[in-house]
Amino acid sequence: MNTNDLIASLGADMTPVRPGLLTNGVMLGLAGGTALTAVLFALLWGVRSDPAAIYGNLPLLAKTLLPLALGAIALPWMLAQARPAGQSRTRHAVWALPAVLALLVAATLLTTPGPSWSMALQGKSIMTCLVSIPVLSAPILAALLVALRRGAPEHPMRCGMVAGLTAAGFAAAIYSLYCIENSPLFYGTWYTLAILGVAGVGAIAGRFALKW
């Protein structure tokens, strides 16, 4: 058998991949994971007693919108990472979020008396925040990793890390509806640590789950 015949015989046994298989699978996984997180949130956390206060206060609104934006920006970046040589312009937009957060923190420091900084930073629910965001992220991250196994990432750890950012962004936005802490000093510090922790778990999980 010559080379051309060998290539032809190999190609004849290949099954074409349906267009959009990876994207559709990831979106389905995201929807399912988020739905499970929402049920978990409703059962164990619930919306804070004064939700209307969120909409009239920019720092409080940012507590929900910034992690939501993180999830939305990281999603196409994650899909790009799941493909060989995949590139996404949204990965650069991620850096706008820490910049906005830094402005909010700076404004808070300028308008809050120095003796109150420590109280605003510590709040009353550090451990609740650091535990809740990873727990709420878990169903989303697990569903995304399962869906991403349909892809072929060149860098499984990086793909898993971005999946962690995606999951933690959406989970933190959901958790913010419960969180009673109002200061950017609090959520700028502890939400960030919790999100980075989930990204780290995603990277480690991706190393094994997304290897091909």
pLDDT tens digit sequence for 59-81:
889 999 999 999 999 999 999 99
123 assigned to some structural domain: yes
Q: For the chain, give me the number of helices (H) and strands (E)?
A: 10, 0
Q: Are 141 and 78 in contact (CB under 8 A)?
A: no
Is pLDDT of 124 > 90? yes
Domain that holds residue 190: 35-209
Q: Is residue 125 part of a domain?
A: yes
Q: What's residue 21's pLDDT?
A: 84
Asked if the structure places residue 1 within a domain, the reply is: no
Look at residue 189 in the predicted model and tell me its pLDDT.
Answer: 97
43 in a structural domain:
yes
Whether 145 is in a domain gets the answer yes
How many CB atoms are located within 10 Å of the residue 115 CB? Answer: 7
Q: Compute the distance between CA of residue 193 and CA of residue 83 in angstroms, rounded to an integer.
A: 28
Q: Alpha-carbon distance 155 to 176, whole Å?
A: 31
The predicted structure's pLDDT at residue 12: 53
CA–CA–CA angle 20, 25, 27 (5° rounding): 95
pTM above threshold 0.95? no
Encoding tokens for residue 42?
């409703």
Query: 3 pLDDT band (50/70/90 cuts)?
Result: low
| Residue 28 belongs to a domain | no
* Whether pLDDT at 97 is above 90: yes
5 domain residue, yes or no: no
Is 141 part of a structural domain of the chain? yes
3-class state of residue 86 by DSSP: coil
Q: How many structural domains are present in the chain?
A: 1
